[in-house]
Structure 1
Amino acid sequence: MRIAIVTDAWHPQRNGVVRVLDTLAATLGGMGHQVAVFEPGQFRVMPCPSYPEIPLALFPGRRLATMIEDFAPDAVHVATEGPLGWAARGWCLKNGHPFTTAYHTKFPHYVRARTGVPLAWPYALIRRFHAPSSAVMCPSPSVFEELGQWGFANAVEWSHGVDIRTFRPQPKDFLNVPRPLFLYVGRVAVEKNLPAFLALDLPGTKMVVGDGPARAALMKRYPDVDWRIANGDAELSRYFAAADCFVFPSLTDTFGLVMLEALASGVPVAAFAVPGPLDVVGDAPVGVLGPDLKAAALAALDVDPDACRDYAAGFSWERVAGQFLSLLRPLAGERRRCA
């Protein structure tokens, strides 16, 4: 099958959406499918307001249409709600082609966190974006339920996976820091609720590996925290494996792939009992969830690392890719302009 994936999030961005789509495309390719990713690097771009690390394609409609038609896909998947996503949606609707979408990011919650607007406003826009989709793929049961509550009639469940070859137990002496090591990996942005972790009075070392628009301000505010940047997945995997506990303070993630990467590395998770952690960890004996993040982090130190690794091994990317394929809606041959 020839599959077109249109996304506003792609390399060199470092976030869970990019990792999911990149791994998905590679897995599908390994299964014999031809995948074309249409992303901002192929267009003129401008920095995203309030988040300059994210480039947004400028007026991509005509060029994107030509590129998709030249590729002649059997199915189109629109992964994000940015300029490329809207352009791909418009092309599909104009030509009567079915398409699928995904809800990777709680965009309405991020808009409210940055602007203070009522949550219903951005949800109305996002609901309009996804309404013509054959299926809105949700990364977790919690997101599926949430979208249903907001009036999304076409939501379907679609889980994520983890690369257990890259993320695996490794020697902890990669980092020579006071123990125990409490680690966060991910974007450093307001929606990640990082102060809930950074302000904790914990023994040993608190470490953040990642970049983002809030990093400079938080580094000044929390000088006792060890701030790092990982260069590539090989180095990133060593940071994960070196930790004693992975702390995930976010209250708004749709899934939280980094938690699976920590578990695959043999590192237990401490988090709030909210969607994301409840979907990844739940009541499995691989982490501690609760209202007191400090208590959860300290209790997680007693979790069996082998149990974490075994649990993560159940999240196969082959299974995720197979489910993705089953949800696609092929373009009817007689209706394809690009055939």
Structure 2
Amino acid sequence: MKILIVTDAWEPQVNGVVRTLKQTRAELIKMGHTVELITPQQFRTFPCPTYPEIRLSWRPGKKIAQFIDTFKPDAIHIATEGPLGMATRRYCIKHKLPFTTAYHSRFPEYVQLRFGIPLSWTYGFLARFHNAAEAIMVPTRVVVEDLEARGFKNVVMWSRGVDLDIFKPGARERLQTRHPIFVYVGRVAVEKNVEAFLQLDLPGSRWVCGDGPAAATLKAKYGEAQGVHWLGVLNQTELAEVYNAADAFVFPSRTDTFGLVLLEAMACGCPVAAYPVTGPIDVIGTDGPGALNDDLGKACLDALRVDRDAVRKHAEKFSWAAASRQFLTHLHPFTAHAQQEVALVVEGAGQ
């Protein structure tokens, strides 16, 4: 089957959306499918206001139409609600082609944090965008229920995975600072609530791995004098070394829908400390391989007592192959042979 995935989030961004799409594409290709991507790298772009690391495509409609007409996909999936996603949506509606979408992050909460725009306005826009799709794929059951309560229709589950060959228990020598070592990995931005971690009065040392619009401000405020050490963006092999060196992985976000970094840390045997909110609850569970508490400092200290072997075993339940098969079953192909292929996958999944 020929599958087209359209995304406004792509390299050089380093985030869960990009990693999810790259892993899903690789798994679908292993299954024998042809997968093409439309990304900002194929267009003239301009920096997103207040977030210049994100590049937005300039007037992509004509080029997207030409690409679709040439590629002739059997199914179209729109991963994001940016300029590329909106242009592809318009094309599909105009040509009466079914398509699916995905809801990767709590964008309305991010917009409210940055600009003070009411949640109802942004959720209203997103509901109109996504409800034209045959299926809206989301990572957890809690997000399904949240969106349905806000008027979203045809919401389905598409879980996530982790590369257990890269992220696995190993040497614990990467970070040579005082123990216990607490680590945050991810985008350094206001919506990630990183400062809630940096403000904690914890023993040992703290590390931040990543970059983002709030990095410069937070680096100036929290440095080695406060027991905080900074690393930039790392590749997956380097991240695995960091997770292994850490005594606990701290996830201060209250707005993520899933959090791939949770799985990466746990696959290395590193217990997680987080708030009891969507994402951590779905990945870890209320009594899983980590510590969830509204008092993040207490969660950090409780996580130190979690058995690392149990943490790894929990992560082994998640695979990209299974997640990608789930993605495939939700596609709505518009050619007969592709519909038969998906039907066979759905039948196999039900056995």
TM-score surpassing 0.5?
yes
- The 1:115–1:230 alpha-carbon spacing in structure 2 relative to 1, beyond 3 Å, is closer
Q: CA separation in 1, counterparts of 2:309 and 2:218?
A: 34
TM-score, with structure 2 as normaliser: 0.93
Aligned to 2:98: 98
Q: Cα RMSD between the aligned structures?
A: 1.1
1:30 deviates by: 1.1
Is 1:180 the counterpart of 2:183 in the alignment?
Answer: no
Structure 2 residue 219 is matched with structure 1 residue 219: yes
CA distance in 1, matches of 2:162, 2:68: 29
Give the Cα separation in 2 of the matches to 1:18 and 1:173: 29
SS state at 2:101 partner:
strand
User: What letter corresponds to residue 103 of structure 2 in structure 1?
Assistant: Y
Distance 1:167 1:229 in 2: 19
* Equivalent residue number for residue 268 of structure 2: 265
Report the CA distance between 1:293 and its aligned residue: 0.5
Residue equivalent to 2:16: 16
Runs of 4+ in 1 over 3 A off after TM superposition: none
The number of residues matched between the two structures is: 334
Query: What displacement does 1:230 show?
Result: 3.8
Q: Which moved more, 1:157-166 or 1:93-102?
A: 157-166
- For 1:142, the equivalent position in structure 2 comes to 142
User: 2:297 aligned to 290, 294, 304, which one?
Assistant: 294
Bigger drift between 320-329 and 217-226 goes to 217-226
The AA in structure 2 aligned to 1:293 is: L
Map of 2:88 onto structure 1: 88
Conservation of the 8 A alpha-carbon contact between 1:97 and 1:331: yes
Is the 1:101–1:130 contact (alpha carbons within 8 Å) kept by the matching residues of 2? yes
Equivalent residue number for residue 123 of structure 2? 123
3-state DSSP class of the match of 1:226? strand
Percent identity between the two aligned chains: 53
Counterpart selection for 1:244 from 242, 247, 250: 247
Distance 2:21 2:262 in 1: 17
Structure 1 residue 333: deviation in Å?
5.7
Moved more, 287-296 or 236-245: 236-245
State whether residues 285 and 303 of structure 1, in contact with CA within 8 Å, keep that contact through their aligned partners in structure 2: no
Contact 2:211–2:233 (CA under 8 A) maintained in structure 1: no
Gaps of 5+ in 1: 335-339
1:156-171 alignment, distance < 5 Å: 156-171=156-171
Q: Which residue of 2 aligns with 1:189?
A: 189
CA offsets 1:104-140 (integer angstroms, 9 cap, x no match): 0111111101111111001111111101100000111
Encode CA deviations 1:75-131: one digit per residue, 9 max, x unaligned: 000000000000111111110000000000111111101111111001111111101
Q: Deviations over 1:201-231 (max 9, x none)?
A: 1111111000000000011111221110143
1:283: how far off? 2.4
The secondary structure found in structure 2 opposite 1:76 is strand
Contact 2:210 2:234 in 1 (8 A): no
Q: Which residue of 2 aligns with 1:55?
A: 55
Indicate conservation of the 8 Å contact 2:162/2:320, yes or no: yes
The question of 1:325 aligning with 2:328 is answered yes
**What letter corresponds to residue 290 of structure 1 in structure 2?**
N
TM-score by length of 1: 0.97
Match of residue 345 from structure 2: none
Q: Aligned with 1:161: secondary structure?
A: coil
Mapped partners of 1:243, 1:62: distance in 2: 49
The equivalent residue for 1:280 is 283
What displacement does 1:284 show? 4.0
Q: Structure 1 residues 300 and 231 mapped into 2: Cα distance closer, same or farther (>3 Å)?
A: closer
Deviations 1:4-48 (A, max 9, x none): 000000111000110111111011111111100110001000000
Secondary structure in 2 aligned to 1:174? coil
Give 1:306 shift: 0.7
- How many angstroms apart in 1 are the aligned matches of 2:143 and 2:254? 13
**CA displacement 1:143-167 (0-9 Å, x = unmatched):** 1111011110221111111111111
